[in-house]
Structure 1
Amino acid sequence: MNEQEPTTRTHVLWFPDWPLRATLGTAPPHPPTALVHANTVVACTASARAHGVRVGQRRRLAQGRLPSLRMLPHDPARDERAFLPVLRLIEEHAPGVHLLRPGLAALRSRGVSRYHGGEDRAAAALLGMLAEQGYPEVRIGVADGAFTAELAARAAASDQPAPQAWTIVPAGESQRFLAPLPVQVQGDEELTGLLTRLGVTTLGGFAALDAMAVRDRFGERGARLHALARGADSRPLSPRPPDPELVREIDFETPLGQTDQIAFAVRQTADAVLLALADAALVCTEVRIDLTDDDGGVSSRTWLHPTCFDAGDLVDRVRWQLEALVESLPPASGQDADAAHAFRGIVGVRIAPVAVDDAAHHQPGLFGSGTDERLHHAVSRVQTMLGHRGVVTATVSGGRMLADRQVLTPWGERPVVERDPSRPWPGSLPGPLPAEVFDPPRPIRVCAAEGSEVRVDARGELSRPPALIDDDEVAAWAGPWPMCEHRWDADRAVAGHRFQLLDARHRAWLVFHSEGHWWAEGRYR
């Protein structure tokens, strides 16, 4: 290793399978699950790897290895959002944390090691703290530079108990530690492929090449990777700037049991949050509200906003969360209308901004922000009067039934689409789709001319041509089109035949016949 190239002793904290932890929300072990992007596996659980599923596999190959494998879309933004609280947690115990990527953080070893009395004791203290907070799977590597420390963290034995799950590479021994590792660990597929064809398969072999020859052949990128292979990682660690103190909370001396009382009491707290955001030149787009009752229980919920919150919006979210808490409680005997919003006493409310943005991005234009701003204020006002779910937005989802193809989300919330509409859905209805969808489907009667109900057998043969739909004459009809899904699941299995019927009033219906019953799925307009 070139002694003139400065290196910094570094602690790297590695959270294995972090994208899966961020998606599933629980600590390992996880059921066989894979995250997929562009039909390629980008992360998979240990239980999936035990059946041959690997990162980089195509979706079809992974499903062939394990047919019961659960496939979920990968969202890098979600990984980063979920990792921010972990960074704050680390920073409380070791200031100066550096984010390498979601699931991987670095610290300068000098400060934390001197405080705890050694690099190993510092690693043990960090692991113990994270295990207490629900992260027992963390691994730590200590070495000269972040690259070697990351590989040392990955080399920590996963079967050891968490307090000992670390690897320390002594100072000046980075090149010896890296030498037997394959060149693939550098993550550059193009350079790795070329080195492999040249017979260079390990970092030790790569490091043995002449530095000037590597620079001439592979350019600055190759020279950088060559320096890493020699253990000369001189990247500076840029500490993550501490977050401004934006969280505000209020405690009540006497538990409050009315939504109006609590909403009035938190108005000043909401104003304080907005003032703290203004001092930091920020606006809040996502907020978490914690309600603490007199038994010590905490009800938490995260709220989104299509633009940014003001104080009135925060008070509305507190009120809606309280109303949802009321609805979740069993009704008390003898409860009258005046006590409809009474519930277990609330002793504290905490408002914590989760996602913030630069206030400059939300400043009105020279002539105002126009229609969008007026529309937002109008819709928000209606939502305040009608409640959280009083105003919803529609998002297209995947599915075969019409009710499955729409997702209604309260205004201001981020829509969560569980079924990808771009995937093929054999048996789904092609466009144009009915303008009116009945959810749940409406029961109807479809009869023949003599009044007997029309039946459809397993082969799609009709007992009689449709002549009446309820009390209206059928002017024209088309079908049947078979539809079947979830045949392997008795609780969710749906099978039947679809028809399009036009009645005498020129209204077109989409109807569905299943298990001897007729249902109206939608109506064309």
Structure 2
Amino acid sequence: MLVVWCPDWPAVAAGLAAAVPAHLPAAVFSANRVVACSAPARAAGVRRGMRRRDAQSRCPELTVFATDEGRDARLFEPVAAAVEELAVGVEVVRPGLLAVPVDGAAGYFGGEQALAELLMDQVSGRAGVECQIGVADGLFGATLAAHRSAIVDRGSTKDFLAPLGITELDQPESDRAELVDLLRRLGLRTLGAFAALTERDVVSRFGNPGLLAHRLAGGLSERPPHRRRPPPELSVPKEFDPPLDRVDAAAFMARTLAERFHAGLAAHGLACTRLGIYATTENGEELSRVWRCAEPLTPQGIADRVRWQFEGWLRADVRDRPTAGVARLRLEPEETVEGNSLQLGLWRGGAHGMSDEQDERAGRALVRVQGLLGPESVFTAVLDGGRGPAERVRLVPWGDQREATSPPETAWPGRLPQPSPATVFAEPVPARVKDAAGEEVSLTRRRELTAPPSVVALPGTKPRQVLDWAGPWVVEPRWGGTGSQVRIQVLLAGEPALAVLLTRTDEKWTVEGMYD
């Protein structure tokens, strides 16, 4: 396998889109942390995972960009097209990384070294970006070889991987951070040390995810080499009248088509690991691209890749852009695995007592509601960072990426400790809090309670005695705001007992939430 890797691609793509010169430091941020940075930014001390404030303190002239997967995929299409002019079978792993079988092209151009040099010149001249080439057995080994611009002899991939750090297993989209951290704490610091363990021991201790990582560390493919041949009826065709010539329309179409494609595979007990996207324009132009994935694709993953590919086709330079809209589209499962390899998401896997058929029907129903009422009509909740219980829940439109914008694990001064209230009121409910002498409990200048709460009166109920309470937690005002909030947790007597979250704001008490 030959891998073409464009280092720091999100930062490179962001700079190209904004016409920022390559010699200026730049970084891409997500949730206020660096996810990619350019070489000049690294030279100034910027690193992945660094907070924005720290990065800008080390490099004040740093150009800041937000993550944009569509932008990254759109600008990577010329790189894939440039490689495709010299080698067949190009597969995009993710924006910034593509793979191609090496045997045929290497034999034609006089060897792997000659092919690598030609591809680097081709990508630099045709797409205007720098790349690194790696050759090894399997995608994982070839990717690490590309990081080091190495060509590994056939059959020597295990020896090449052995001295490398165990953190190499945590590649983008692999979701192995916890496994890698555990291996490091167990003293397995290199891939060779991990590969030396027996498969039986690895499976008994780390389960199936550990076994897949163990195969990679040993220079093997993540999945066995034998694949089931997908039945021809699993391909999903779609015709458009009028033809698609806008990315937003293509993105909306991709959701429904991805659900249909995934449902057809699931009915046969399969999941897709290599997705072929084939399109024909109104003028008869043929467009195609294959996306390779380390993990079986979910409906959202399929929709994302279709959307990215349309962005690459429809927003390319004039010389590379199709002359007409897309009239026909076909999704083809180029490679499949057993469906139980799929890591299921919301409502999946029987956690809520729903079958796969019910899950797919619910998903289609939600997409249908969006089609009738608009994309902002169906939401799911994401746990985000914040101090109060209401601030920590953010609603995301159905089908969009459910990612936290503020890391919930970050220290939030004044944040309410666990557990959070089971019910949070949209509008605070007024309450009265009195001490043992019958006087209203208020705050001192130091924002401490004037006396321990003894009785709490809620609207429409008799006053209840306070059995126990905790707090107060002071919440400072936001920038530009005035005043502050103080929260206390109170357990009230009664049948049954009632636990509430009380907030003191603007000289009055309100009930912010209730506990089960």
Normalised-by-shorter TM-score class: 0.3 to 0.5
State the TM-score, normalized to the length of structure 2.
0.45
State the TM-score, normalized to the length of structure 1.
0.44
Which structure has the larger Rg? 1
